[in-house]
Amino acid sequence: MAHQPMDMIRIEWRPDKQAKASIYSQIVAFFQERITSGDWVSGQKLPSQRKLAEMFGVNRSTIVEAMDELQALGLLEGSHGGGTRVANEGWAMLIQDKTPDWQSYIKASRFYPNVPTVQIVNRLEFQSGITRMSTGELSPELMQTKITQDILSQLSDRKLFMNYPDPLGMPSLRRAIQAHLKKNGIEVPISSILIVSGALQALQLISIGIVKSQARVFVESPSYLGSLNIFQSVGAQLVSVPMDAQGIAPWRTKDMQSGGAHSLLYTIPTFQNPTGCVMPASRRREVLQYCTERHIPIIEDDVFRDLWLDAPPPPPMKAIDRCGSVVYISSLSKCFSPGFRLGWLVGPEAIVQRLADAKMQMDYGVSVLTQQVAEELFTGGLYEQGVQNIRTRLKTRRDFMMRLLERWMDGLADWNCPAGGFFVWLRLRNRVQAESLFKRALTEGLLIMPGGVYDKNHTSSVRLTYGYLPEEEMERGVRRLSEMLRGLQNET
């Protein structure tokens, strides 16, 4: 399955073969309406004639005839080897004179788009026939939908709170999360807890609420944050910091030695994304002390904590923070259900109040229904029950993936057995480029995450997931990837 360029027009419309109007005239009319209404703008590229014929279920000659008429009308233009695009001249330009030049607005926006590879993955993950070895979420089979359904049933018998919530989130939910945090050694008042729409929103709030333009955000190499442009969109700079077997090692780079005004460190010390590395307690203390001495705040992303498979991980850095240096983030998205879109941020009250104010300007708070479901999860013991069930089944999948890799990837890549989370980090041998493997896998409907997405120095690594696919799809995917890798190695 070939992937589409980012400016490629996506078409979900199909001609009505039962209509009185001919297929040809329906196609011409549809294209005219899309272009003259301004929905498709000048310069956007159409799928190939072959692809359009497949999509519409017609002969290619019908498409050729329709395209010829649209070009004669000045709505489309073709270039040698460049395919067919919405025209920049003729009638199309007269239309554009009446329609805002949306492309120029898009290009001038301060908010950066996702990198092209991530855009491709995000789009294709929802298409049928795709084997999702890239997905950073639990399989629907692992999600505890029965627990959620039972809670919703119980709530339906009560008088629900449906007004706007407290800017920090419902106090009753924050008390429940306060008790949950205490189990991991984090003791804070509920005034230091902000309910957010997932960990990603917490990062967005931090980027707009407390990060200065030109600030440096230190990240692990590689890092999940490298696949996003949240901080770059506000003018900050991501600076990669080396990792070793125990996690991030800030003293190994000169960039962090002097600290720097308004710099931050972002880290995932527990089941790091994408490597799966777990930072031991001693390294957590060392990193915290190193940053505290240099007045560098730490953003601790702990969304995978409860997905341990062999033994509980060390306490969070926030649990040993005595100077208010750590802003802590976690959520229900990874451990329970991505559709919940509910997380929490813990930090100094001044920071929490600042970010709560920013959040109120964005969305007036997380859905109160979601907050009430989350409260029941924590107060009724259902969260622990559900997560234990997930861990048991996820461990089975992890072990199955390890057997597959030993069978199919021996001699092709190196990897470590992850102790939790749902990712395994493959380091490809013989300097095979992960982007080449990504493109080849796309042609067969396989989605993987090449390492260059997370850091430019990891272009020969790949992140795979064992948390989403059923075993038969996982086996098919690993086997096919091994065959592709052998082919790529023979070409180098």
Q: Give CA separation, 235 vs 68, 91, 232, 247, in Å.
A: 46, 40, 5, 27
On the question of a cis peptide bond just before residue 222, with omega within 30 degrees of 0, the verdict is: yes
Looking at domain 117-142+386-491, which CATH architecture does it have? Alpha-Beta Complex (3.90)
Global pTM exceeds 0.75: yes
Domain ranges for the chain, please list them: 23-109, 117-142+386-491, 145-384
Which residue shows structure tokens 């969070």? Answer: 316
- Fold designation for 145-384: Aspartate Aminotransferase; domain 2 (3.40.640)
Q: Residue 18 has what pLDDT?
A: 85
Tell me which of 3.80.10.10, 1.10.10.10, 3.40.50.1580, 1.20.140.10 is the CATH number of domain 23-109: 1.10.10.10
Residue 238 contacts residue 226 (beta carbons within 8 Å): yes
Domains 23-109 and 117-142+386-491 share a fold: no
Q: What's the average pLDDT block by block, 10 residues per block, for the chain (492 residues)? A: 60 87 90 83 86 90 90 81 74 58 79 86 86 90 81 75 83 96 96 95 94 91 88 90 93 78 92 96 96 94 96 97 96 85 95 95 87 90 91 96 97 96 95 93 92 92 95 95 92 74
